[in-house]
Amino acid sequence: MQDFEYLMPTNLDQAIGLLKKYENKAALIAGGTDVMVKIGKTRKAPDVLISLRRLSALRYIKKNGGYHIGALTTHRMLEQSTLVQSELSALHDAASQVGSVQIRNVGTLGGNICNAAPSADTAGPLLVLDATAVLEGPLGRRRVPLKEFFTGTYRTVRKPDEVLVEMEIPEDLGRYGSAYWKHTRRKAMELPLIGIAVALKLSQDNSQILDSRIALTVAAPTPIRAYPAEDFLKGKVIADDVLKEAGRIASSADCCTIRTSLRCEAWYREEIVRVFVPRMAKLAAERVKNR
């Protein structure tokens, strides 16, 4: 193991103060499920690791003029929240499938987002829930829509002296339903080969799509929204051929840049997008009806 200094601030101001003090010599660590793996693998560590573990004030799931999820909320907390399960279903789908129970007990939502892997499980659901990231730094708070948060693979708009404190989701989800599919080679302990998140807003009679959001992970250098496919669905009456066409558009170069990697070939990933955009749309619609 590599040597590094490990600091444990007990409040946000301290954490930001430490970030400012050590500048680029420091890195943040929350659950550690990405950071420690990276240190072990690269045999390189920053001089200082600033742990956010004691910032327990940032562990919460609240509904109060919108949904507010603290950055240190663990995947397990999301998994066990009935509020998340019934109203932010896609996020529940994602959080409950991250790693194993042990990993979900320590891995945090903020960590998953700030690590900014193209495969981040919670990114797709948060994108279709139209989430906003709340960052705090020496100059105060700022809010960045998640769709503008990722700037590249493992890169975000977060400045080195900022801490992600919360994910905010707009309140009006009354006629929305959402779902996330993590496509894997086995049924647990896996990264997605491709991830598909869909949120639909339906008319009162559940027949018409009033709003649609589709997000894909592992389909581009960052988690992305599939806008052309979303636009295609808006205003349409929900039907198999319509959803199928949305899947086709989502899998096309208009929406994503799916590639062949060591883990999976491009043709297969594209096929899964074609199959699961409709399936997740149907599941999302089901969930609108069942709410």
Residues in the site for other proteins, rule: CB under 8 A?
1, 43, 183, 185-191, 193, 262-265, 268, 271-272, 275-276
3: its two tokens = 């040597």
Instruction: Give whichever of 201 and 274 is closer to other proteins, judged by the CB atom.
Output: 274
14 three-class SS:
helix
| Nearer Cβ to other proteins (150/276) | 276
Q: How far is the CB of 99 from other proteins (least distance, A)?
A: 11
Between residues 76 and 225, which has the closer beta carbon with respect to other proteins?
Answer: 76
Nearer Cβ to other proteins (211/271): 271
Residue 185 C-beta: closest distance to other proteins, Å: 5
Structure token pair of residue 41: 């693998």
For other proteins, the closer of residues 253 and 262 by Cβ is: 262
Q: For other proteins, which is the closer residue by CB, 140 or 185?
A: 185
Q: Which residue type is seen at 6?
A: Y
Cα–Cα separations (whole angstroms), residue 203 to 14, 194, 226, 235, 237: 48, 30, 22, 9, 9
The distance of closest approach from Cβ of residue 277 to other proteins in the complex, given in angstroms and rounded to an integer, is 12
Find all residues with CB under 8 Å of 117, minimum gap 6, and list them: 34, 153, 154
CB of 208 to other proteins, least distance (A): 24
Tell me the backbone φ, ψ of residue 54, rounded to 5 degrees: -85, 0
* Interaxial angle between packed helices 240-251 and 266-290, expressed in degrees from 0 to 180 and rounded to the nearest 10: 140
Q: What is the 3-state secondary structure (H, E, C) of 18-72?
A: HHHHHHHHEEEECCCCCHHHHHHHHCCCCCEEEECCCCHHHCCEEECCCEEEECC
DSSP string across 205-256: TS-BEEEEEEEEESSSSS-EE-HHHHHHHTTPBP-HHHHHHHHHHHHSTTT-
Query: Which residues neighbour 107 within 8 Å (Cβ) at sequence distance 6 or greater?
Result: 31, 33, 34, 74, 75, 98, 99
Task: Give Cα separations from 134 to 40, 101, 140, 213, 260 (angstroms).
Answer: 30, 27, 10, 21, 34
Task: Return the number of the residue (185 or 289) whose C-beta is nearest other proteins.
Answer: 185
> Given the complex with other proteins, which of 15 and 283 has the nearer CB atom?
283
